[in-house]
């Protein structure tokens, strides 16, 4: 029994080493950009820097606000990258929100349904992301703020079905970080960035009732935003 167990353990260990070596060989020989970066080398350093500086949590908070205030997803016809009027209206809303925050970068993620080959769907997902980026740039968003387009192809369906499903044929726009690593955004100006439209819509002190006494801050016009 002990001999059999030891032999089995040795085989499993060799199999694991072989699998690991194969994965490492694939990583080093595959075409650059052929797969989504899963976090090798520099990404770990960038992530650590982002967390230590507070950038990561700021980006997460902005993305939560973005997804709350704007529809971040558009969908597509089957086997198509065409943007219908509903999609264009959504992207115009996204662009209006993005214009408020010139310090912020965004990523567009492309998806497909499960019909067709994985390789084809990956390319289709990328073309859909590119179509959205192109439309956002037509709305005045600088291309260098649309940090990257990424495709997940058919690998992340909202609705798990082998058939055609429009909700799976989508792109999702997300906050990805700050322009030029935002060296000045975090220098005491983060609240100004987050609440820029609230500041802009504040009632001037000369219009406050009571002549400005009491030291209270002006409330945003219209009772709040978002």
For residue 183, the model assigns a pLDDT of: 45
pLDDT at 77 > cutoff 80:
yes
* Cα(128)–Cα(108) distance, integer angstroms: 9
Q: Which single residue is written with the structure tokens 């009571």?
A: 210
For residue 176, the model assigns a pLDDT of: 86
* Cα(96)–Cα(37) distance, integer angstroms: 30
83-124 per-position pLDDT tens digit:
999 999 999 999 999 998 888 899 999 999 999 999 999 999
**145-159 average pLDDT score:** 90
All domains in the chain, ordered by first residue:
54-199 (3.30.1330.60)
Lowest mean pLDDT among 30-39, 132-141, 194-203: 30-39
Q: pTM of the full predicted structure?
A: 0.60
Counting Cα atoms < 13 Å in the Cβ hemisphere of 67 gives 13
């Amino acid at each position: 029994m002990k001999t059999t167990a030891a032999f089995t353990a040795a085989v499993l260990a060799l199999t694991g080493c072989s699998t690991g070596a194969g994965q490492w060989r694939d990583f080093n020989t595959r075409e650059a950009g052929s797969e989504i970066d899963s976090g090798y080398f520099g990404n770990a350093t960038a992530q650590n820097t982002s967390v230590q500086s507070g950038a990561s949590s700021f980006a997460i908070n902005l993305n939560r606000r973005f997804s709350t205030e704007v529809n971040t997803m558009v969908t597509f016809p089957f086997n198509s990258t065409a943007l219908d009027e509903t999609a264009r209206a959504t992207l115009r809303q996204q662009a209006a929100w993005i214009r408020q925050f010139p310090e912020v970068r965004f990523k567009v993620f492309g998806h497909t349904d499960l019909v067709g080959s994985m390789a084809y769907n990956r390319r289709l997902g990328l073309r859909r992301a590119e179509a959205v980026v192109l439309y956002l740039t037509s709305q005045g968003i600088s291309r260098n703020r649309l940090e990257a387009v990424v495709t997940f192809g058919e690998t992340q369906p909202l609705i798990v079905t082998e058939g055609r499903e429009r909700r799976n044929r989508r792109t999702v726009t997300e906050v990805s970080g700050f322009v030029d690593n935002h060296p000045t955004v975090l220098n005491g100006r983060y609240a100004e960035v987050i609440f820029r439209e609230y500041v802009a819509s504040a009632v001037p002190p000369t219009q406050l009732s009571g002549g400005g006494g009491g030291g209270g801050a002006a409330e945003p016009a219209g009772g709040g935003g978002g």
